[in-house]
Amino acid sequence: MREFQRQFASEEACQAYLAACRWPDGFACPRCGHTHGYRLMEHRRWQCVACRYQVSLTAGTILHNTKTPLAVWFWAAYLTVTDKRGISALLLQRQLGLRRYETAWMLLHKLRRAMVNAAREPLHGEVEIDDTWIGGPQPGLRGSRQLKGRKAAIVLVAVEKAMSRVGSGWRWSRTSNRPRWSISSRTMSRGDRRSTPTA
Ligand SMILES: [Zn+2]
């Protein structure tokens, strides 16, 4: 967690990361194919040296046209994907040290929506599956007895490991132009546990 924060601490580091995702073998102009470009940090773009075509680093992703620093986005994505209980906007605001609650709410909303959209296609790569109960603890019961006759819903969450540790760094995998994180959740009651869940 600390290492993630350290690696994506600055706007520059996040942009370098997005560029590396877009051009794993180095810059290539989509218009003329020239392999030399320079970055325009302020605009989150790269410009081709030959034809001056500008490529946005965030086009096609939820990061596009945002005024929020990329480092904040990256950290928010990390917290949203890894928090098992489902992070709240308020907690996100505190963790990110944001002045405005609205910013935290917007980040969370966009990240969650991206996750839902991504869930429409099958997950691939390294996928983590976990289940959790929603409905809170039952008073007077402990351990597995909590589950007996419980009217809570089980939520099955499959997370494509979008930010997995690779060597000494992190990898934020992508499908074409957008970050490849996905979460799919399906609810079912306890009695239905073995039947096919319906979305
Ligand atoms: Zn070019």
Using 50, 70 and 90 to split pLDDT, how confident is the model at 186?
very low
- Report how far ligand 1's centroid is from the alpha carbon of 26 (Å): 14
Are residues 115 and 185 in contact, defined by beta-carbon separation less than 8 angstroms? no
Strands (E), the chain: 37-40, 45-48, 54-56, 127-134, 153-160, 163-166, 169-172, 174-175, 178-179, 183-189
For residue 33, the model assigns a pLDDT of 95
- Report how far ligand 1's centroid is from the alpha carbon of 30 (Å): 7
For residue 140, the model assigns a pLDDT of 55
Alpha-carbon distances, residue 155 vs 24, 54, 132, 139 (angstroms) = 36, 43, 5, 21
For residue 114, the model assigns a pLDDT of 81
Are residues 162 and 173 in contact, defined by beta-carbon separation less than 8 angstroms? yes
Percent with pLDDT over 70 in the chain: 58
Query: Between 130 and 65, whose confidence is greater?
Result: 65
User: 3-state secondary structure string, 25-50?
Assistant: CCCCCCCCCCCCEEEEHHHCEEEECC
- Report how far ligand 1's centroid is from the alpha carbon of 67 (Å): 27
Using 50, 70 and 90 to split pLDDT, how confident is the model at 158?
very low
- Report how far ligand 1's centroid is from the alpha carbon of 42 (Å): 20
- Report how far ligand 1's centroid is from the alpha carbon of 71 (Å): 28
- Report how far ligand 1's centroid is from the alpha carbon of 27 (Å): 10
Residues 161, 174, 98, 95, Cα dihedral to 10°: 10
Contacts of 72 (CB under 8 A, 6+ apart): 96, 98, 107
Percent with pLDDT over 90 in the chain: 38
Query: Between 140 and 7, whose confidence is greater?
Result: 7
For residue 99, the model assigns a pLDDT of 95
| Ion ligand 1 residue ranges (Cβ < 5 Å) | 29, 31-32, 34, 48, 50-51, 53
Least confident of 17-31, 78-92, 171-185: 171-185
Query: Between 115 and 23, whose confidence is greater?
Result: 23
Residue 115 to residue 151: CA distance in whole angstroms: 27
166 exposure class (CB count in 10 Å sphere: 0-12, 13-18, 19+): exposed
- Report how far ligand 1's centroid is from the alpha carbon of 40 (Å): 15
For residue 3, the model assigns a pLDDT of 83
pLDDT > 90? residue 53 = yes
- What would the mean pLDDT of 156-165 be, rounded to a whole number? 45
Residue 199 to residue 189: CA distance in whole angstroms: 13
- What would the mean pLDDT of 153-158 be, rounded to a whole number? 43
Are residues 174 and 21 in contact, defined by beta-carbon separation less than 8 angstroms? yes
Q: What is the DSSP letter of 176?
A: T
